[in-house]
């Protein structure tokens, strides 16, 4: 029996063509967010895997909402996020995704992966995820280390080319994740909050509304 984790050539539980409706974020909503490091040769398989896992979660879990899959321009990282309505829904999704990855381990879809539960703590501007947008999306990871509940700098809205930013805080309060949207990538450099922050230029591949 085929399984929805192998690669684009060997499964098609979902329509793997890029695209989807625009999705946006609401403050205080909860998301399961997974960051996966992959081999460049397995990037298509990884994208397909996360698309399939999200689709299955949305089909089987009533508390799974909007979702998106991003691919790093470096082709070494996948960012997958799916709205969940509560801790129980997150635990069920995490278990299903763990099972999927255990089955897929022999295919080396991901070299490493980190899944966590995050709350939307702040939004500024329009950070809608548009799968075919020409805008630049930048994913930033910052250890919380005593940051306020609103980790995005308000003065970012005055930056040239700024479109929007959404800030997620981990359920345990130890991490913050931000997704910026700018007209052009080079406009982002001037507003980086800290030189220690880890950033990745990412592109939306697939959205689920």
Assigned domain for 15 exists: no
- Please give the structure tokens belonging to residue 40: 């460049």
Assigned domain for 3 exists: no
Whole-prediction pTM value? 0.84
Assigned domain for 5 exists: no
Predicted local distance difference test score (pLDDT) of residue 6: 41
What's the length of the chain? 209
Per-residue pLDDT of the chain (209 residues; tens, 9 = 90+): 334 444 444 444 455 566 788 999 999 999 999 999 988 888 888 888 888 888 888 887 666 799 999 999 999 999 999 999 888 889 888 888 876 665 554 455 677 888 999 999 999 999 899 988 889 999 998 766 555 555 566 678 888 999 999 999 999 888 889 999 999 998 987 777 555 568 899 999 999 98
Q: Is 99 helix (H, G, I), strand (E, B) or coil?
A: helix
- 139/161 Cα distance (integer angstroms): 16
- 83/47 Cα distance (integer angstroms): 18
Neighbours of 14 (CB within 10 A): 18
Assigned domain for 146 exists: yes
Assigned domain for 135 exists: yes
Assigned domain for 18 exists: no
Assigned domain for 111 exists: yes
How many structural domains are present in the chain?
Answer: 1
Predicted local distance difference test score (pLDDT) of residue 58: 83
- 136/186 Cα distance (integer angstroms): 9
Predicted local distance difference test score (pLDDT) of residue 137: 96
Q: What is the CATH number of the domain that holds 176?
A: 3.30.70.100
Range of the domain at 45: 30-208
Assigned domain for 10 exists: no
């Amino acid at each position: 029996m085929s399984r929805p984790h192998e690669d684009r050539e060997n499964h098609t539980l979902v329509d793997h063509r890029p695209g989807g409706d625009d999705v946006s974020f609401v403050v205080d909503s909860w998301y399961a967010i997974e960051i996966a490091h992959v081999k460049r040769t397995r990037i298509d398989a990884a994208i397909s895997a996360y698309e399939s896992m999200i689709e299955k979660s949305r089909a089987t879990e009533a508390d799974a909402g909007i979702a998106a899959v991003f691919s790093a321009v470096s082709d070494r990282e996948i960012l997958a996020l799916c709205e969940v309505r509560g801790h129980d829904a997150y635990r069920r999704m995490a278990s299903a995704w763990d099972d999927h990855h255990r089955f897929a381990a022999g295919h080396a879809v991901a070299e490493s992966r980190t899944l966590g539960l995050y709350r939307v703590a702040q939004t500024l501007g329009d950070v809608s995820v548009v799968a075919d947008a020409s805008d630049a999306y930048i994913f930033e990871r910052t250890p919380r280390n005593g940051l306020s509940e609103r980790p995005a700098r308000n003065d970012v809205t005055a930056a040239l080319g700024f479109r929007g930013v959404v800030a997620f805080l981990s359920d345990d309060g130890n991490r913050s994740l931000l997704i910026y949207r700018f007209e052009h990538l080079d406009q982002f450099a001037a507003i980086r909050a800290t030189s220690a922050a880890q950033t990745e230029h990412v592109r939306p591949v697939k959205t689920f509304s």
